[in-house]
Amino acid sequence: MRTGLTEKFGIDYPIFGFTPSQDVAAAISRAGGLGVLGCVRFNDPGELDEVLEWMHENTDGKPFGVDVVMPAKIPTEGSKVDLDSMIPPEHRAFVERTLDDLGVPPLPEGEDRINTGVLGWLHSVARSHVDVAMEHARKYGQIKLIANALGSPPDDVIALSHENGVAVAALAGSTHHALNHVSAGVDIVIAQGYEGGGHTGEVTSMVLWPEVVDAVGSAPVLAAGGVGSGRQMAAALALGAQGVWMGTYWLTAAEYKLGAAGDGPSTVQKALLKATSRDTVRSRIYSGKPARLLKTKWTQAWEAEGAPDALPMPLQNLLVGEAHARISVSDDPEVVAMPAGQIVGRCNDIVPVADMIADMVAEYTESVARMNESLA
């Protein structure tokens, strides 16, 4: 396939795969897409460095990207201790009580994962991700994209990325966001519709994508939210996007090993395999900003009578950080804390990444043929 973005990155298919799993990201790049490693879970820059080294060794020289979380505006910055003091005790009590009610065991003895994925939401930690990624970009020239999940990255990050031959992408849930990104010097706008997993706005992909395409003029747009098939990739290109950005769909890739428990699908994957497109909910409980999550007993507890409102970012992250860690090592598919888009309804099998991509491309080709027939 060929679009402006396949040519820009020298990839075979305009399929951009966001995933926290290096195994999946590497498989996407090897299969001809562009794997984008989510960095928010790395509290320790050294760990990210090792993982990027592994990515280099397992991608046959193909390009890949990184995704960092740098909020454009954060309510506060500071050490974990400073922020901790801002969390109301009632909120802590609710979380503890809910975990007990749901039968989520404490963290295993000796496993200090309390802060996993929490500090990554802080600006200072995100900056360390950028530094490590840029070092790798200079060293091997494979990191070709840095994406920011929350707003435009700071000016100097954009400048630094460009110096190192790394394109900058940013997620947008509205044309307003998209225009801000382009003004800030962002190269690629990722327009994410309401149906997407994680942070989303209110406008759906069908309406948002062409609106953003028209608003940003010549800047390329990646279509996110609701993509998990070749037909949806065809819809994205029909609507004017130059490629697709997918997240949820890779969670049931055979290569996805995070949170895995023993042989076979992990607890999270079991939950995803069972979910329909109606089993998600958009809520502030994951991060403090509206994000679409898999609907489980955990999300339902926050919607019940008497549950507290979510705190603003980054306090909500800190509040639920340990809970997420406890849930992620427990084994009840009905108690899962996981961002997921409505496309989860199509996550019905554990499939290797290469097969997923081959199927998408075949279905894309069929869609185009069908459309040609409509004009014959």
- Residues at the contact surface with a copy of itself, assessed by CB under 8 A: 1-3, 14, 174, 193-195, 201-208, 210-211, 225-227, 229, 231-232, 234-240, 277-278, 342-343, 345-346, 365, 367-368, 370-376
Smallest separation, CB 200 to a copy of itself (Å)? 10
Q: Residue 70 or 171: which CB sits closer to a copy of itself?
A: 171
- Cβ contacts of residue 241 below 8 Å, gap of 6+? 191, 209, 213, 221, 222, 223
Smallest separation, CB 375 to a copy of itself (Å)? 6
Q: Residue 183 or 277: which CB sits closer to a copy of itself?
A: 277
Smallest separation, CB 122 to a copy of itself (Å)? 30
Identify whether the C-beta of residue 284 lies closer than 8 Å to the C-beta of residue 315.
no
Strands 64-68 and 243-246: unpaired
- DSSP secondary structure, 229-290, as one string: SHHHHHHHHHTT-SEEEESGGGGGBTT--TT--SSSS-HHHHHHHH--TT-EEEESTTTSS-
Tokens coding 260: 């895995």
Q: Residue 157 or 347: which CB sits closer to a copy of itself?
A: 347
Give the integer Cα–Cα distance in Å for 376 and 373.
Answer: 5
Q: Residue 131 or 211: which CB sits closer to a copy of itself?
A: 211
Smallest separation, CB 97 to a copy of itself (Å)? 28
Q: Select from 359, 341, 338 the least CA-distant residue to 266.
A: 338
Q: Residue 236 or 319: which CB sits closer to a copy of itself?
A: 236
Give the integer Cα–Cα distance in Å for 146 and 248.
Answer: 19
Q: Residue 3 or 164: which CB sits closer to a copy of itself?
A: 3
List the Cα angle 57/59/61 in 5-degree steps: 90
Beta strands in the chain (DSSP E): 15-19, 34-38, 64-68, 143-148, 167-172, 188-192, 198-199, 221-224, 243-246, 280-283, 291-294
Tokens coding 53: 């080294």
Smallest separation, CB 33 to a copy of itself (Å)? 15
Q: Residue 114 or 362: which CB sits closer to a copy of itself?
A: 362
Smallest separation, CB 278 to a copy of itself (Å)? 6
Give the integer Cα–Cα distance in Å for 137 and 247.
Answer: 23
Smallest separation, CB 365 to a copy of itself (Å)? 6
Smallest separation, CB 280 to a copy of itself (Å)? 9
State CA 216 to chain mean position distance: 23
**Tokens 């280099």 appear where?**
56
Burial (CB < 10 A; 0-12, 13-18, 19+), residue 258, is middle
Smallest separation, CB 327 to a copy of itself (Å)? 24
Tokens coding 1: 């396939």
Q: Residue 149 or 203: which CB sits closer to a copy of itself?
A: 203
Q: Residue 12 or 135: which CB sits closer to a copy of itself?
A: 12
